[in-house]
Structure 1
Amino acid sequence: MTESTDRLDSTKLNSVESASTNIADNKVPIAVSSTHQSIDSKTMNHTPKAMYVTSGNSITPKGKLDKMPKMVANGSRAFIWYLLAIMVLILDQWTKWLAQTKLAFNDPVPVIEPFLNWTLAYNYGAAFSFLANAGGWQKWFFSGLAFVMAIFLTVYLIKAPRAAKLLSMGLALMLGGAIGNLIDRLRIGKVVDFIHVHYADVWNYPLFNVADIGVCVGVALIIIDMIFLESKRNK
């Protein structure tokens, strides 16, 4: 009796071990409920799409990233604005040459009475004759300042946003004007002025030239761009 019982227990043990081995080796099929399979399939097919995308080290909502403006620099197209600067420079130097050859020093020639005269004058300083009587060192100071400004404007025109046409125009006008007055300082040590705006003998505006007009108009355009247009480009 005991021997029969031992044989029976041994047979059961072998059956259990065999079943365990088959399950471990994936030899025994496992029934899967069709309902569960359907639910899992639907769950996988309806996985939510990514609502955020990574940009560098930050995470940005996908829709917002698509609407972010793409700032494309002028790059090689900056040559268009360089042409404008060259036009300002040529006009400035040509009108100064005419003033020096056709006008007598400090002898007004009426153009539009009583508002505008051509009057040849020389400025050893900066705008409005600032530091005009400083003793000569101001020539190199303002020449160096104009040279640095010209380099800065040249580089900035390349990197400026292509869409910011008003900004680029202002930079080009400033560049042409800065180089125009720089040539005067290096060539003759002073700036040639000849445009005299006034009202009879009651009011007189300091004499200026085409280069000064380019610089002033350029600054005005840049300010207008900064106040009214830059924020719209960044939206």
Structure 2
Amino acid sequence: MFALSLLLAAFLIVTDQVLKAVVNSKIELGKVVEVIKFGDAKIFSLTHIRNSGAAWSIMSGKTWFLVSLPILVCIAGIFYMYKVRKGSKLEIVSVAMIIAGGVGNLIDRVRMHEVIDYIKFEPIDFPIFNFADICIVLGAIAFCLSIVISDIKKSKSDKPDKIKVKADA
């Protein structure tokens, strides 16, 4: 499962980089392309921006930190995946997704000192994000879910069997 998870991470990284390359070549910086709209209500658009920070542009300009942190997380994630390689598939896949998202954005930061973001969900005021961000968030949610599932299974297996009472007759 370890090798398959590394292949999954590689596939997700390539997907992220291809999507960013397409956005970079087809959508002018700052341009908004409406994708889903109902009447006057905008739902989803592609908006090509660059972000030198993290979510909501926090830590903007702190490239050294935003490069160092994902490197450390990815190294720790790979060691963790190897350690639990025979464990929960959901847990291993979720870590692979987090690694893929981290590496996808890391490539941009090293190459351009900023990340290409392009996905905008219009109904709420939420930062524009990218495929790598989706991998990180879904991976984190799946990881938490795998821990909850593991705890439930463990608590069920730790319960003693019902005590059988023998009646004296």
Is TM-score (shorter-chain normalized) higher than 0.5? yes
Shift of 1:126: 1.0
Q: Could you tell me which residue of structure 1 aligns to residue 103 of structure 2?
A: 179
Q: CA deviation at 1:228?
A: 2.4
Q: State the Cα distance separating 1:79 from its structure 2 match.
A: 0.7
Q: Does 1:99 align with 2:20?
A: no
Within a 5 Å distance, the mapping from 1:1-235 to structure 2 comes to 77-113=1-37, 114-132=42-60, 136=61, 138-199=62-123, 203-233=124-154, 235=157
For these two proteins, the number of residue pairs brought into alignment is 152
Structure 1 segments of 4+ aligned residues over 6 angstroms from their partners:
none
Q: Larger relative contact order (C-alpha < 8 A, sep ≥ 6)?
A: 2
Query: 2:34 & 2:12 partners in 1: Cα distance?
Result: 24
Distance 1:127 1:151, change over 3 A: same
State the TM-score, normalized to the length of structure 2.
0.85
Percent of paired sites with the same residue = 30
Helix, strand or coil at the partner of 1:142: helix
Alignment partners' CA distance in 2, 1:190 and 1:152 = 24
- CA shift, 1:105, in A, is 1.2
Question: What residue is the counterpart of 1:69 in the other structure?
Answer: none
Task: Report how far residue 160 of structure 1 moved.
Answer: 1.3
Secondary structure in 1 matching 2:122: strand
Q: Hey, what's the Cα distance between the residues in 2 that align with 1:222 and 1:233?
A: 16
Secondary structure of the structure 2 residue equivalent to 1:206: coil
Structure 2 counterpart of 1:96, one-letter code: K
Query: What one-letter code is carried by the residue in structure 2 that aligns with 1:227?
Result: V
**C-alpha distance in structure 1 between counterparts of 2:56 and 2:14, whole Å:** 23
